[in-house]
Homo-oligomer: A and B are copies of this chain.
Amino acid sequence: MEVMTDLPHPTRDEIRIEVVLHALADPVRLQLVRALAELPDGAEGIACGAVELPISKSTRTHHIRTLREAGVVRVRPKGTVRFTTLRRDDLDALYPGMLDGILAAKH
């Protein structure tokens, strides 16, 4: 039985490190990832618009798509809202320690 995935996401083995690093290298996207990382495990995710960022809505969309296509986040539409979660399990499996190391940076 398939998981109901509306938007295209790379599978775990399609995720490439250069693409992930590029996705994380942007200040706005990193801020978004930090916010996602603070969610409790198993949470529904966060609405894309719920994180306040110093950018316009269309730019926000662009960044979230970049993160999704890189395999950093998973986006699940529910009604008019898109819940976004960190793909922590996949990232930890592929690059153990990387995410925690990045999040350890004092910003």
A interface residues (Cβ-Cβ under 8 A, vs B): 17-18, 21-22, 24-27, 30, 94-102, 104-105, 107
Contact = CB atoms under 8 A, between A and B. Distances in A.
How many copies of this chain does one complex carry? 2
B27 A18 contact: yes
A30 B30 CA distance: 20
A98 B94 contact: no
**Interface SS of A by simple majority:** helix
A105 B94 contact: yes
B99 A101 contact: yes
Nearest to A30: B18
A97 to B, nearest CB: 3
Contacts of A21: 21-22, 24-25, 30, 102
